[in-house]
């Protein structure tokens, strides 16, 4: 009897399982018939030989309801590249707020008597990645307006607002001299209004005559960089072959190779070694320009607690900083924001504490941080792992935030050639009517694109595309654009 009952139950179970499976397949078929673009994307992934052997995570949601409309490996952990910045920006807006500003302060442990400051002068950085030569000059002007023309003491740089770990854990050595691999310091400087903190711009032009050395300038003017000029001017019909690199552990920049006479100038952003010293060099130059002298040394140390603040300089608010951060995919901004979140919430400006805050913020949105590996804020690490469905889910949920307009305003807009509008998407997707506002991402073997779009039929979508293990990142971008074209036609 027991055996008969067991057989009956087993048969019933098989029937139920079969029926469930049949029902699921029928729903998928119906979904494909109702949405032919689902089949098109499936076929693209299966048939395009360029991504055979690659991993492709795709998540598409309704922007109105958050409903998952398409999912291909959406729960698989994949490297994000700069799509990580979507997570960093959302967390930073929550923790710091749209109006948050970075402060740079000048203190003294002495007193002003007549035109003299009797005591040491401290320049304390608090993470501002936007400081330029003009800002240091303004600080110097403020000191001079107090009557100070002489300092009887030392000029001291204080970068202890953050820890002294300059590089994120997985930055590869070959990126150290690049603008996107610059060191992170609480006291740093940028060469222009793209705000690549901790870098200088090396400008190379041909000499006036063939055979002469190339002409080289550094912006901003600084004694912190030592240029070794090995570049030669060659005939107009010769090829330009310039190499600009900084030696590891030093600020010696080697410029070598050839540049044809009458050719266009070449500019390269090169990171400095120890940006605290770079900022302090620009500050002391500003003091000299303002006619302020000192009789002590230039030092680096933590300022004492009980000192008098003389000047405070504030950065632009975070709402404005997000534009160059996201439009131009600025790695340095991402890592500064991670450390600043750690400082604000945990009292420690480090990657460890900052990423801890990020995980807490993502968890508050209902995201499964156990399914992620977060190693930095920029996405330059090849160890970062996030599922596409988690990214699209975040993009849906932040639409309810009061700061969402600031968030989406900072994202690149496809096909808009103005640099601070189109950003890293300014030359892509120019041939479709869809409105695409999204974050790009590229590191070696990885391409990604996640954001918002309104299709040609007016349907609002949220999408995340993570492509890993491609042999050419341009292939990844091509696949992403094809997927957007397919979504545009739905």
Catalytic site positions: 82, 85, 329
Element (H, E) at 419: helix 419-422
Contact assessment for residue 366 and residue 461, using Cβ atoms and an 8 Å cutoff: no
Which residue, among 89, 66, 106, 92, has the nearest Cα to 187 in the 3D structure? 106
Would strands 55-62 and 155-158 be described as parallel, antiparallel, or unpaired? unpaired
Tokens read off for 420: 């601070």
Phi, psi dihedral angles at 142 (to 5 degrees): -65, -40
Taking the CA of residue 186 as centre, how many other CA atoms within 13 Å lie in the half-sphere pointing to its CB?
A: 28
CA distance 304 to 313: 20
Tokens read off for 360: 């807490």
Would strands 298-300 and 155-158 be described as parallel, antiparallel, or unpaired? parallel
Would strands 446-454 and 435-443 be described as parallel, antiparallel, or unpaired? antiparallel
The phi-psi region of residue 423 (left if phi > 0; otherwise alpha if psi is between -120 and 50; otherwise beta) is left
Q: DSSP per residue over 66-121, as a string?
A: --EEEEESTTSEE--GGGHHHHHHHHHHHHT-TT---EEEEEESSEEETTEEES-E
CA distance 16 to 489: 38
Residue with token string 């090829």 = 239
How many beta carbons lie within 10 A of that of residue 192, not counting itself? 13
Contact assessment for residue 136 and residue 283, using Cβ atoms and an 8 Å cutoff: yes
Question: What are the beta bridge partners of residue 311?
Answer: 106
DSSP state of 423: G
How many beta carbons lie within 10 A of that of residue 108, not counting itself? 23
CA distance 96 to 44: 42
Which residue, among 464, 463, 465, 443, has the nearest Cα to 454 in the 3D structure? 463
3-state secondary structure at position 339? helix
């Amino acid at each position: 009897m027991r055996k008969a009952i067991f057989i009956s139950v087993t048969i019933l179970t098989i029937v139920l399982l079969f029926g469930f499976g049949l029902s699921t397949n029928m729903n998928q078929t119906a979904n494909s018939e109702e949405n032919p673009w689902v089949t098109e994307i499936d076929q693209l992934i299966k048939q395009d030989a360029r991504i055979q052997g690659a991993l492709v995570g795709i998540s598409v949601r309704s922007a109105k309801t958050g409903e998952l409309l398409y999912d291909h490996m959406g729960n698989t952990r994949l490297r994000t590249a700069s799509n990580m910045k979507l997570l960093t920006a959302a967390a930073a807006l929550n923790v710091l707020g749209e109006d948050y500003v970075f402060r740079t302060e000048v203190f003294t442990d002495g007193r002003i008597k007549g035109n003299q400051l009797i005591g040491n002068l401290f320049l304390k950085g608090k993470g501002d990645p936007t400081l330029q030569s003009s800002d240091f000059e303004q600080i110097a002007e403020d000191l001079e307006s107090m009557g100070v023309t002489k300092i009887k003491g030392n000029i001291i740089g204080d970068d202890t607002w953050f820890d002294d770990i300059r590089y994120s854990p997985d930055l590869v050595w070959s990126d150290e001299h690049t603008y996107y691999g610059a060191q992170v310091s609480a006291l740093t400087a940028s060469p222009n209004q793209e705000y690549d903190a901790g870098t200088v711009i090396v400008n190379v032009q041909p000499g006036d005559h063939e055979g002469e050395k190339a002409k080289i300038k550094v912006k901003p003017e600084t004694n912190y960089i030592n240029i070794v000029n090995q570049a030669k001017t060659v005939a107009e019909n010769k090829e330009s072959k310039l190499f600009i690199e900084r030696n590891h552990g030093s600020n010696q920049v080697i410029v070598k190779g050839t540049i044809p006479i009458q050719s266009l100038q070449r500019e390269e952003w090169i990171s400095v070694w120890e940006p605290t010293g770079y900022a302090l060099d620009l500050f002391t130059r500003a003091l000299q320009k303002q006619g302020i002298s000192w009789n002590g040394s230039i030092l680096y140390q933590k300022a004492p607690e009980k000192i008098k603040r003389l000047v405070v300089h504030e950065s632009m608010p975070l709402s404005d900083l997000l534009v160059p951060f996201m439009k131009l995919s600025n790695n340095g901004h991402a890592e500064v924001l991670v450390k600043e979140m750690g400082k604000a919430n945990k009292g420690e400006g480090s990657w460890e504490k900052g990423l801890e805050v990020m995980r807490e913020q993502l968890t508050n949105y209902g995201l499964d941080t156990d399914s992620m590996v977060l190693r930095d804020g920029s996405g330059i690490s090849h160890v970062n792992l996030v599922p596409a469905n988690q990214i699209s889910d975040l993009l849906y949920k932040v639409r309810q935030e009061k700061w969402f307009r600031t968030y989406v305003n900072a994202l690149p807009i496809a096909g808009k050639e103005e640099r601070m509008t189109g950003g890293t998407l300014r030359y892509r997707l120019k041939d479709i009517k869809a409105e695409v506002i999204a974050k790009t991402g590229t590191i070696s073997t990885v391409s990604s694109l996640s954001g918002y779009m309104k299709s040609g039929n007016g349907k609002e979508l949220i999408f995340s595309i993570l492509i890993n293990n491609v042999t050419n990142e341009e292939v990844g971008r091509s696949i992403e654009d094809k997927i957007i074209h397919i979504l545009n036609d739905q």
